[in-house]
Amino acid sequence: MKAKRQFSAHSVRWASIIAVTAMIFGALLVNMPTVMADAFGPEIDHTPVTDGTVGIDINITAKVTDVDDVYEVWLNYTEVSGAWDNVTMANWDDNYSFIIPAQSSAGSVFYNISANDTDTSDNWNRTIDFEIVISEDTESPEITHTPVVAAWVGREMTISAQVSDNVAVNEVNLTYTDVAGITANESMVLVAGNYNYTIPAQSSAGDVTYFIWANDTNDNDNRTVNSTIAISEDTDAPTITHTAVTTATAEQSITITATITDDGLGMESATLYYRKTGDADFTAVTMTRTDDTYTRTIPSDDVTTDGVEYYISATDGTNTATHPATNPTTSPHEITVSAADGEPTEELPWLWIIIAIIIIVIIIAAVAAAARGRGRLPEEELPEEELPEEELPEEESKEEEEPREQ
């Protein structure tokens, strides 16, 4: 009985030791980092390209990721000729891409994508082989154009169109026949997405016909229907709306403003003519345009108390209008200019001119009369018959009578 109790106590001690040891090792295992080896290659996420067209590049893209880092991604492909090529794909934020050059003929292009990571085990992954069927380009260029239907004699006509193609536009031409019946074929120039050509101005009324033709790099072509431009004479002059300036202050500039429109050819230019009152010649200056409003300033140096005269001329290139509408050079708009202190300075009224003339005549007559008085002969030297009898001095009459009595 005593031996049995001793065995039990011994067993308990060993059990306790084992339990404590297990607890210690368990704690150590919990606090130790877990290290797992990378046994897999990068993951390649790719949507296969299945169709292509002769003359068009082929863009291959894929998203490649790895639990560590992706080391490199390659594209393996064959051209229609059958030769394989191996290239490194460019990376941007885990998106890899490469452009297979356009094929010059129909056939098949085969490709696959492979990648590896940076683990020392150098894990790889690779897609299956994919086939791209390259077809001949049979699509013609697309031409978008709004026809020009009318123009004026003497004005150029700009023909514009947008031309696009699934491969590439090769050439765009304009063929037109002018009013004289002469046909021309001209290359259109690409500017900011539009193909343009300007047909020269026609010298007479009539019709100009034209069409646009284009082809692509695979020689697929297209053309528009014939369009007709009706060329007409413009006989209407511009319309000038203007409120005349009538007063101003000396040494202060004068702004002339007018609204000018033209329903035909369209406005070409407007000119302001001005001069000091009394001058023979006008100064011509081009007016500045803002939409339909034209303005120009007469400089302060030309604004004097003599006054200012002006008129406006506008042209559409063929027809001219003026304001005033009639005799603008001989009867222009007149501006009365006041002195800088605000007192008006006007030419002497006609009444005062007449009064001044009368006064001058009176003065001249008075001076002449006085001059004649100073130059008269003494009365005794005047011939007797020239003096009236009653005006002769009394003494002189007696002297003449005495000899007669003797």
* Cα–Cα distance measured from residue 149 to residue 58, given in angstroms and rounded to the nearest whole number: 43
What CATH architecture applies to the domain 239-338?
Answer: Sandwich (2.60)
Q: Would you call the peptide bond into 393 cis, given omega within 30 degrees of 0 as the criterion? A: no
pLDDT at position 2 over 60: no
Q: Comparing C-alpha atoms, which of 258, 263, 353, 361 is closest to residue 316?
A: 263
Residue 118 is predicted with a pLDDT of: 79
pLDDT at position 29 over 70: no
Query: Please, which pLDDT band fits residue 405 given cuts at 50, 70 and 90?
Result: very low
Domain 142-232 fold: Immunoglobulin-like (2.60.40)
Query: Please, which pLDDT band fits residue 398 given cuts at 50, 70 and 90?
Result: very low
Comparing 33-47, 118-132, 200-214, 229-243, the range with the smallest average pLDDT is 33-47
Superfamily (CATH H level) for 43-135: Immunoglobulins (2.60.40.10)
Average pLDDT over residues 110-134: 91
* Cα–Cα distance measured from residue 218 to residue 258, given in angstroms and rounded to the nearest whole number: 57
More confident residue, 25 or 318: 318
Comparing 114-118, 262-266, 328-332, 372-376, the range with the smallest average pLDDT is 372-376
Query: Please, which pLDDT band fits residue 387 given cuts at 50, 70 and 90?
Result: very low
Residue 306 identity (one-letter amino acid): D
Average pLDDT, the chain: 86
Query: Please, which pLDDT band fits residue 5 given cuts at 50, 70 and 90?
Result: very low
Average pLDDT over residues 289-311: 98
pLDDT at position 375 over 70: no
- Counting every residue written for the chain, the total comes to 406
Quick check: helix, strand or coil at residue 382? Answer: coil
Listed in order, the ranges of the chain carrying CATH 2.60.40.10 are 43-135, 142-232, 239-338
Average pLDDT over residues 367-387: 60
* Cα–Cα distance measured from residue 57 to residue 125, given in angstroms and rounded to the nearest whole number: 26
pLDDT at position 378 over 80: no
Residue 25 is predicted with a pLDDT of: 53
* Cα–Cα distance measured from residue 35 to residue 69, given in angstroms and rounded to the nearest whole number: 17
Residue 3 is predicted with a pLDDT of: 44
pLDDT at position 12 over 60: no
List 157's β-bridge partners, or say none.
199
Percent of the chain with pLDDT over 90: 69
Average pLDDT over residues 200-215: 98
Biggest alpha carbon distance in the chain?
235
Query: Please, which pLDDT band fits residue 131 given cuts at 50, 70 and 90?
Result: very high
pTM: 0.55
Tokens describing residue 287: 């007016």
Residue 208 is predicted with a pLDDT of: 99
**Count of beta carbons in the 10 Å neighbourhood of residue 301:** 8
